[in-house]
Amino acid sequence: MKSIQRRLSLGLVSVMVIVGVVLAQTSLWLFEAGLQRYLEAGLRNDAENLLVALVRGPNGVQLDEHRLSPAYQRPFSGHYFRIDFADTHWRSRSLWDQELPRLSEAGLKGNLQLGPEGQQLLVLRSDYKRFGHSISISVAQDYTPVRESFRMMRRIGLVLGLAALLLVLALQRITVRRALRPLETARNQIAQLQQGQRSQLDTQVPLELEPLVAQINHLLAHTEDSLKRSRNALGNLGHALKTPLAVLLSAASSEALKDRPELSQLLRDQLEHVQQRLNRELNRARLAGETLPGALFDCEQELPGLLATLNMIHGEHLDLSYRTPPGLHLPWDREDLLELLGNLLDNACKWADAEVRLTISETHTHYLLAVEDDGPGIPEAQRNQVLSRGARLDEQVDGHGLGLGIVRDIVEVWGGVLQLQQSEWGGLKALIELPKRHA
């Protein structure tokens, strides 16, 4: 979908072009019509002067050339006349050897007539009664200079119109940017919500955005409250079930079932399965809070402490190292990432001979988390089986147990992919690909 600013710009350009063209054409038409009426009045005055120049002479009616305008004497001057009287007609010397187009009826000819030297003529015919006879006088004026002036006006108007359009677009772009700045601010704040840098949107917004911001803040508060209640309820349920499960496990191992070893083993297996499933589901329920912003995971700040703790647990004979880009912050909840990386690194430390390495990198679309060790690894034929949905990981591969299942659950909730590969040292490499969040 096009941006609001682009749509406003296109709409403004379209409206301005249409209105500008209509106004320009209308103005030119009105101006030309007014000019033609003005010229028509001048031509009518010229026709009356020619009528006065017709006098009686010794040989009848004749044209007194002393009363004619000098413009009618110069060849192709742009001013012409033709007088038709009975069987006689006179024409101006300015026509030279050409004839003036004769109109079929009196009045101003709307269409321009082609005259001498390719001139476009505005022709007016007037009919009179004089000396008892009908007299038709046609006068014409070269309209070519006027047409050239109109063309120049159109070109100048076009240039000025384009300049004005560009100026208006620039001012409109500045105005729209300033008007849409609160939307950009809101978009950045929503991105900060996703990255855990804020918990609500600012309420100091324009009047048009107040209902939207209020609704988003209300939804955030309501969702956070619902998740807190859900987490507390599940936590209370988990604590309430742990004690009965511990009692049942103790009862399954009691002397009362000593004579029934098969039943005792069956009870212990099923109760342990329930306990493990309960722990996993409680962990999954806690991950529902990922939809709300939490504290960002600062790699440079968190990883040294995490690796130091694992060194204390597994002994300092292991070489634990990490590689991350400087200043990298992962946009997920800190506690969830500590649990994810802690489980992967703990599994690697259990089976590593001497080296464990964590590598975190990013591409344009994903974050890549890789944990490698130099231990025995997992045979390639069993890796897909280990990660199959619904499988009990703790029973399939010794050492890579429930922790790997929790990691898989976290990665799935985040929309990522977990792969098990062979590390460059021959051990196991757990590679996680997490999609970047977009505002």
Q: Kindly state the tokens that stand for 352.
A: 């590593």
Q: Kindly state the tokens that stand for 5.
A: 């600013």
Number of other CB atoms surrounding residue 393 within 10 Å: 19
Q: Say how far apart CA 148 and CA 347 lie, in whole Å.
A: 90
Q: What pLDDT was estimated at residue 396? A: 41
**pLDDT averaged over consecutive 10-residue blocks of the chain (439 residues)?**
72 83 83 83 88 80 82 86 83 82 73 71 86 85 84 86 86 83 83 72 83 86 76 74 79 78 82 75 54 66 88 83 90 82 88 92 92 89 66 42 71 88 90 77
Q: Kindly state the tokens that stand for 305.
A: 């402490």
Asked if residues 131 and 83 have their Cβ atoms less than 8 Å apart, the reply is no
**Distance of alpha carbon 243 from its chain centroid, rounded?**
57
Inter-helix orientation angle 334-351/402-413, to 10°: 150
**Which residue shows structure tokens 């009908």?**
134
Q: What pLDDT was estimated at residue 21? A: 83
Q: What pLDDT was estimated at residue 388? A: 57
Asked if residues 53 and 117 have their Cβ atoms less than 8 Å apart, the reply is no
For 234-277, write each residue's pLDDT tens digit: 777 777 787 787 778 788 777 777 778 888 888 888 888 787 77
**Of 400, 276, 402, 422, whose CA–CA distance to 349 is shortest?**
400
Residue 361 C-beta-side C-alpha neighbours within 13 Å = 6
Helices (H) and strands (E) in the chain, counts: 9, 15
Q: Say how far apart CA 48 and CA 286 lie, in whole Å.
A: 105
285, amino acid identity: A
